[in-house]
Amino acid sequence: MSDFTSYGYEIIERLGHNTYGGRIAYKAVNLNNHQPVVLKQFQFIKDSTWEDYKIIEQEIKTLQKLEHSGIPRYLNHFDSGDGICLVQEYKDALPLSLQRSWTRDRIKDIAIKLLEILVYLQNRIPPVIHRDIKPENILIDEQFNIYLVDFGFSRIGEGSVNLSSFAAGTFGFMPPEQLHNLSLTKASDLYGLGATLICLITGTKSTEIGNLIDLSSNCLQFEHRVSEFSVEFIRWLKQMVRPDPKQRFSNAQEALKALESISITRSPEVKLSQSVLEFKATRLVEKITQTITIENPIPETILEGSLQVAANSKDPPHTPNTHGWISITPKKFKSNKIKCKITVNTCQLKADSFYQRWILLHTNAALNPYKIKLKVQTASVPTTKTFISNHGNSRHFISVPIDVLTLPYNSFLLSLIAPLVTIVGAWTINTFDGDLLGEISNDENLGAIFLLFSLGFLLEPH
């Protein structure tokens, strides 16, 4: 292990080693203030080129000008004789490349914090393009602070890359324009960030990201492996990794604004067996029940909801849990498939009338309730034919109502009087038969019977 005490630093441990590139990262301590630092040594190996030196120089030049809490600060650099050493602020954090299980909310938090770092870099004049965003270059500490490191391939300003430049970056995380040495824009770093997030949500190692690339379309295919994430988030992520930079978000600020309003967790959906329920009574005082099936077809989610009758000015006062003539069972549920029974009690309704009401279905699938329309047709008032005789001579058949339950539900007293009047009328006919009626003219017979049988309805208030 190298000795840097003559330069004011004591090595504590080696953090990483890139044999091919001749880079070694150490955790060290500053002998003057005893602060921990990261010391990166860029060794001049046998096959080193001027391009290798330019990478080191570029990282130093970039870091010297950056001041952001998500970027470890540049502290110093020196020539160690066999290479150049860069000294940075030490962060007690681990790279995202280490396989760990992340919650969906944590993944969104990581994405937002990385975008905020990119917004800072892109708002600089000229903007800074990192060009090598991948899990290995992103650190996270125990407090979930995020740090972007390794600016060796960074570029100051947008535009075309010199033809002599090599395709700096890591395959699978480089956008096509970077891979082919074409013009870089603020959308270029979004590709690497998107690919990094895909690794996190699919559990794919960064070295295997290429397995997700569809060679025919040059697109990353991952949505079939992340059914637990919302459709909106998957759509956002797919836009981050579009092969054509013009189809991505134009910059980090635009991508950040779009992400902040998205729920990353996939929500359940509502599938109704029917959106309109029709109730048609065939007789008075009938209770009619219809069944509606509510389903959630989205895996890894649970549908929760409640049903209630929407308020209507023509109904008596009711609460969300009770209604005068509509009942729902169950009113609340937590299931991906539930059969709800809706019952209409026509005893409380006027005969031969049409009613329309709405059932509101509140769920965790949407902010606004789903609406189920109820159409109710009550039965007509039944009639009976009464035969009137006069000393054996056939006289008239008349039709009279036999039901008086069409009184309004709040006219309790009248609802008691009306059936009594009807009963008295029927008793009069049966008792006196045609003898008494025979002494009354035909018109009078009809008038008396009509009066007796219909008085209940004449009493109804208007």
Number of C-alpha atoms within 13 angstroms, CB side, residue 426? 13
pTM: 0.65
CATH of domain 5-89: 3.30.200.20
Is it the case that residue 384 has pLDDT exceeding 80?
no
In terms of DSSP bridges, do strands 370-377 and 276-280 run parallel, antiparallel, or are they unpaired?
parallel
How does 130-149 read in b/e, with b if 16+ C-beta sit within 10 Å?
A: bbbbbbbbbbbeeeeebbbb
Domain chopping of the chain, boundaries: 5-89, 94-260, 271-377, 383-458
**Rounded CA separation 356/303 (Å):** 28
Residues 304 and 181: their CA atoms lie apart, in Å, by: 52
Q: Each residue of 42-100: pLDDT tens digit?
A: 887 666 666 667 777 877 888 899 999 999 999 999 998 888 899 999 999 999 999 78
301, containing H or E segment: none
pLDDT tens for each residue of 351-373: 999 999 999 999 998 889 999 99
Which superfamily does CATH assign the domain made up of 94-260 to?
Transferase(Phosphotransferase) domain 1 (1.10.510.10)
Tokens 């606004």 belong to which residue? 368
**Using the 8-state DSSP alphabet, how is residue 380 labeled?**
P
How high is the pLDDT of residue 182?
87
Q: Provide the pLDDT for residue 401.
A: 52
Tell me the pLDDT tens digit for each residue of 223-282: 888 878 888 999 999 999 999 999 999 999 999 999 999 989 888 999 999 999 999 999
C-alpha–C-alpha distance, residues 459 and 417, integer Å: 9
Question: Is residue 320 very low, low, confident or very high in pLDDT (cuts 50, 70, 90)?
Answer: confident
Residues belonging to the chain: 462
Report the CATH superfamily, name and number, of domain 271-377.
Immunoglobulins (2.60.40.10)
